[in-house]
Amino acid sequence: MHLIIANPRGFCAGVDRAVRVVDELLDFAEEPVFVRHEIVHNHAVVGALAKRGAVFVEEVESIPSGAIAVMSAHGVAPAVVSEAKARDLRVVDATCPLVTRVQLEVARHAKAGHDVIIIGHRGHVEVDGLLGYFQSAAGQIQVVEDEAEAATVEVGDPARLAYVTQTTLAVSQAERIVDVLKSRFPALIAPRGDTICYATQNRQDAVRKLAERAEVIFVVGAPHSSNSRRLAEVAREEGRRAYLIESADEITADQIGAAAHIGLMSSASAPEHLVQASVRRLSDMFPGLKTEEFGKAETMFFRAPVALEKLKKEKEVMAQAKAQAEAEAKAKAKERAEAEAHREKLRQPIRFDGLDDVLQTAADLAEQLRETAVASARVGEREAEMLVNIGENVRDRAVNEELLAEARKMEVVDSLRRSAHRAVDLGIDAVGVALRVGSDAVDSFLSTPRRSLDTAAR
């Protein structure tokens, strides 16, 4: 028995980016992370994220005001984003950049007053989002699912008609539909670039090559995933038995039958661990199974959304501010404890038996007064430093968020700095007063025994 595993397979760059967004939010957010719709169409992926704490909802109205809201990789209509912002949600849009490209293509045609045909599947979340990008009173937009519909669809102005495709369609099927439309509408405007994504095309090409050698093909993916279903359809178009499976447990000996070569592939929304589980399943079923791979893995990578980086930065700033505040509070508490300890010493009764004790006690008292004054000054300086830091934080926050006008920012910072300087002056004055009190106390203690000696001498 021979197992042939095709490449590229598994997560495409868009799916990887979307899953990574939710994973990273769950890593640092200390609050629930809400996701509108399944982040990608795969139950294993969604289930794993849900176990980590992600909350999946179908509409933004189900998300509490002010919460973090992630838009799925399939994209959403502009009205959905507007509704989310109206609810004060912190939106992180994980739409695949390739879907975004098609959305912008639809918006461009709407602005130009063209009619638009979306070649895709009605009710699919990606198609619903594309429909929402057509905001034009001059033209119309409609969905065509197959060649039969392409042969009968009616349009407003055949001379101003454009088309786009859902990104996860089978390339061959989309081409057949486009051919029908072009035969009816010769002026049909094509997209500026391919609107079926590179990952969909690559995986369909890999399945065709796999079908050249394998008699039966297993496609790892979810049944409600468009790109997963298309892979199984392509394999069948090539004359092979193909099975779409969500887990390795679905593989049976009856499906394989007398086949000597088994093909294995995974869709763009299926995680690699499901592929490896399928390999183990087949190895257990057929001891001595020979395994080989062909093709190359993809290297495409999409950067995280700006909104995610912004939330991460805000979290870092808040964590730093919290740590700084805790450190300052700890230092301030320590200084206050030291000052209180000095004051407690001053409250202790003074006992002495002779002139030497009187002099030493006076000196000790003066030193304690000096230490108390210095400790009080430290507290004052620390409070001054905290005021300055608060002022700087307020200023930085105002600059970053553009919440205050420049004049107001400078007024707040200058006021806080003046308060800080006044606190420092008070601390210095406290040191001076304490030293004067200590000096007077020493003079008082020294003058008493001297008067006693003078009286004795007379």
Q: What is the pLDDT of residues 15-44, one digit of tens each?
A: 999 999 999 999 999 899 999 999 999 999
Q: What is the pLDDT of residues 262-304, one digit of tens each?
A: 999 999 999 999 999 999 999 999 999 999 999 999 999 999 9
Helix, strand, or coil (residue 141): strand
> Residue 444 has what pLDDT?
55
> Residue 434 has what pLDDT?
52
Please report whether residue 305 resides in a domain.
Answer: no
208-to-197, 224, 230 alpha-carbon distances in Å:
17, 22, 12
Phi-psi sector, 349: left (phi>0), alpha (psi -120 to 50), beta: beta
| Average pLDDT estimate for 231-248 | 97
* 44 and 125 co-located in one domain: no
Task: Work out whether the CA dihedral 136, 197, 17, 401 comes out positive or negative.
Answer: negative
Q: What is the pLDDT of residues 378-425, one digit of tens each?
A: 666 666 566 556 666 655 665 555 544 554 555 554 565 565 556 545
Helix, strand, or coil (residue 109): helix
> Residue 395 has what pLDDT?
57
Strand order in the sheet with 2-6: 241-245, 216-220, 261-266, 2-6, 290-294
| Average pLDDT estimate for 229-244 | 97
Choosing from 38, 126, 335, 383, the catalytic residue is 126
Query: Which of 16-25, 243-252, 323-332 shows the lowest per-residue confidence on average (mean pLDDT)?
Result: 323-332
* 348 and 452 co-located in one domain: yes
Q: What share of the chain is helix, strand, coil (3-state, %, to 5)?
A: 60, 10, 30
Helix, strand, or coil (residue 20): helix
Instruction: Tell me the pLDDT of the chain averaged across its residues.
Output: 86
> Residue 411 has what pLDDT?
59
Q: What is the pLDDT of residues 334-371, one digit of tens each?
A: 888 887 887 777 677 656 556 566 566 666 666 766 77
| Contact in structure between 205 and 235 (CB atoms under 8 Å) | no
* 341 and 444 co-located in one domain: yes
Domain containing 113 — which CATH number?
3.40.1010.20
Please report whether residue 204 resides in a domain.
Answer: no
> Residue 455 has what pLDDT?
45
Question: 33 φ, ψ to 5°?
Answer: -110, 115
> Residue 430 has what pLDDT?
53
261 has a pLDDT exceeding 70:
yes
Question: 168 φ, ψ to 5°?
Answer: -105, 20
Going by pLDDT thresholds of 50, 70 and 90, the confidence category of residue 456 is: very low
* 61 and 177 co-located in one domain: no
Helix, strand, or coil (residue 361): helix
Please report whether residue 246 resides in a domain.
Answer: no
Query: Which of 62-76, 141-155, 172-186, 393-407 shows the lowest per-residue confidence on average (mean pLDDT)?
Result: 393-407
**How many other CB atoms are there within 10 angstroms of residue 385's CB atom?**
16
Please report whether residue 33 resides in a domain.
Answer: yes
The tally of domains found in the chain comes to 3
Residue found under tokens 């300087």: 421
Tell me the pTM. Answer: 0.71
> Residue 377 has what pLDDT?
65
| Contact in structure between 101 and 126 (CB atoms under 8 Å) | no
| Average pLDDT estimate for 49-75 | 97
Domain containing 87 — which CATH number?
3.40.50.11270
- What is the distance between the alpha carbons of residues 386 and 454, in angstroms, rounded to a whole number? 54
48 has a pLDDT exceeding 90:
yes
* Domain membership of residue 33 as a residue range: 13-94
Question: 193 φ, ψ to 5°?
Answer: -145, 180
Going by pLDDT thresholds of 50, 70 and 90, the confidence category of residue 138 is: confident
- Residue ending a domain, choose from 55, 77, 94: 94
- Residue ending a domain, choose from 117, 151, 184: 184
* 331 and 414 co-located in one domain: yes
Please report whether residue 275 resides in a domain.
Answer: no
Whether 237 sits among the annotated catalytic residues: the reply is no
Residue found under tokens 């079926």: 196
Q: Which amino acid is at 196?
A: I
